[in-house]
Amino acid sequence: MRSQIHLPRWIVALVLYLLIILLLFAIKPAIMFTNDGKPKDFGIGLTQGKSILAPCVFFPILAIFCFFIATIIYVAI
C-alpha cells in the first residue's frame, strides 16, 4: 500500500511562489529590473526606470496565480 503525503494547499502555493520569486531575482528580467539590478517603479513613461510589469504589481498577481495552480493540483489528485 502506498502512502500519500497531503500538504495543505497554501503550503504548496507558498513553496511554488517562493521558488518563482527566487528564480526571478536570480535572472532579473529587464522588464522588471533596471540595469543595475534594482526593481523598476510602476508607471508608464519615457524613462527607463518605469514599467507596467514592476515587481510591486507582478508579485501579488503571482501569489494569486500560485494559489490557483495549487488548487488545480489538489482537484486533479
Collapse the DSSP code of 49 into the 3-class scheme (helix H, G, I; strand E, B; otherwise coil) and give the result: coil
Collapse the DSSP code of 4 into the 3-class scheme (helix H, G, I; strand E, B; otherwise coil) and give the result: coil
Model pLDDT, residue 2: 52
pLDDT band, residue 69 (cuts 50/70/90) = very high
pLDDT band, residue 3 (cuts 50/70/90) = low
Model pLDDT, residue 9: 92
Q: Side-chain half-sphere of 53: how many Cα atoms within 13 Å?
A: 9
5-50 confidence digits (pLDDT tens): 788 999 999 999 999 999 999 999 988 998 998 998 888 877 777 8
Q: Side-chain half-sphere of 13: how many Cα atoms within 13 Å?
A: 17
